Structure formats: C-alpha cells, structure tokens
Amino acid sequence: MAPVSTSKIVLVTGAGTGLGRAVTHALTAAGHQVLAVGRTAATLEESVAAAPGPGTAEAYVADVTDAAAVVALFGHIAQRWGRLDALFNNAGIFGPAKAIDEVSVDEWKQVVDVNLTGAFLCAQAAFRMMKNQDPRGGRIINNGSISAHTPRPHTVGYAASKHGITGLTKALALEGRAHNIAAGQIDIGNAATELTAGIASGSLQADGSIRPEPTMDAAHVARVVAQQVELPLDVNVPFLTIMATGMPYIGRG
C-alpha cells in the first residue's frame, strides 16, 4: 500500500469507459483513492472491479450536467473523505457528425452541456472545496482535445466546447493562484477508446477525403495524467498535448 502521505483523493468523471477508465486504473495502480463518476452504473462497476491496487476505486453514479447532482456528489466527497486532492474533468461526447447548418439547437446544447457546462460545474465545486479545506489547495486537470486548437470537419459543437474548456482552464489557473489550486489542461489526439473507434478505419479530413488515422494506447495518456496528479502544488502544467505521432495535426497532414 502506498504511504498515506502520498495517497491522494482523486475524482475522475466519465470514468466508466475509455480514457476515464484508463486514468482510474493508472491512479489506483499508483496507490491513490479514486471516486469514479459516470452516468451508467454497469460500466462504472466494471471499471472499478478491474482497477488494480494498491489504491482503491469506488463508483458513484451522477450526471455532471445536473447542478443538483454535482452538489450531491461533492457532498458525498466531503462526508466520505473530508477533502479532494485532484479532479480529472473528463466527461465528454462528440455529438452529431453534421455540417454546421444541419446541427439543431438541441444537439448543440447537448454537447455544450456535457463538455463545457458539466466541466464548469465540477471545477467550480472542486475549486470551492479545495479553497476551503485544510491543508488548502488541489489540482484540476481538464480534458481538452486537439479540437481545442484545430477542429475536425462537421464537429462544431465539440470544437466550440473544447475551445471553451481552454478558457475555463485559464480562468481556473488564474484564480487558483491565491488558493494553492493548480489548474491545467491535457489535449489528447487519437487515444484509442470507444469514443474514437471509427478514426482508425477512416475519418473525414479537411479536404473532404476519408482516410484512416493512427491511434495510440490510452494507457499512455493515463500515465501522464497520473504523473500530473502526483506533482507538488507549486508546480503546474497549464497545457500539455499528447497525440499519436502520425496523426494529421501539425502541418498539413
């Protein structure tokens, strides 16, 4: 078992599948205590059951777009552990693959609610807890995306929401200085998960062609997140990009 002094309490959203599950497992393998949050009990239980030691993982069902549910979630954290050391703000959806003029207002709102409003609600609650706990402070890591810099075609909601995450990260980092709260963003390109399953077989490119793109094991991303969680709070990583080496992001592909 990791020494108590180095074991951290970490909240991971979107923890039932994909990157959230990989990060949960990397954190428990490093000896941390993880609250794995998501909307689907079955996938959360699978994620928690497969988490390696010496750390622990617990499942908690919540919709991060529901403000009352987020309040209840952080009330549970306060009662269960009395503090929160780190938040990995990971819950997100792609939304419909449609041209901008074909996206309905409801489709737009759904993507923005999950990707941006949900991240805001969790970050706000984490900030409040970290600001007031003793010892004070903590770390918030937002899952941005390559799309926080360069969008894919037909992903207007996703691209806009991930650009919004960048603004949220900067605001958190700025306001966190006074409270020993470090906030950063990890921008991920083509980690192999359920969310990116179609990319390896063929993805729409800016020139209108459909081409397969390389992917990378999500475990590499999870390891980087775990390393950031373990940094002392006088060190921050404001922005970090990790991507499959050959994906068409830098230059013209």
Catalytic residues: 158
Contacts of 63 (CB under 8 A, 6+ apart): 39, 69, 118
CA-only gyration radius of the chain, Å: 18
Tell me the H-state helices in the chain.
Answer: 18-29, 41-49, 67-80, 105-112, 118-132, 156-176, 218-229
Contacts of 39 (CB under 8 A, 6+ apart): 16, 61, 62, 63
Q: Degrees (nearest 5) of the Cα angle 27, 56, 184?
A: 30
Contact indicator for 19, 219 with CB cutoff of 8 Å: no
Q: Choose among 221, 220, 209: nearest CA to 152.
A: 209
DSSP codes, 116-147 = IIHHHHHHHHHHHHHHHSSS--EEEEEE--GG
Count the Cβ atoms, other than its own, within 10 Å of residue 250: 12
Rounded to whole angstroms, the Cα distance separating 175 from 154 reads 34
Rounded to whole angstroms, the Cα distance separating 8 from 26 reads 13
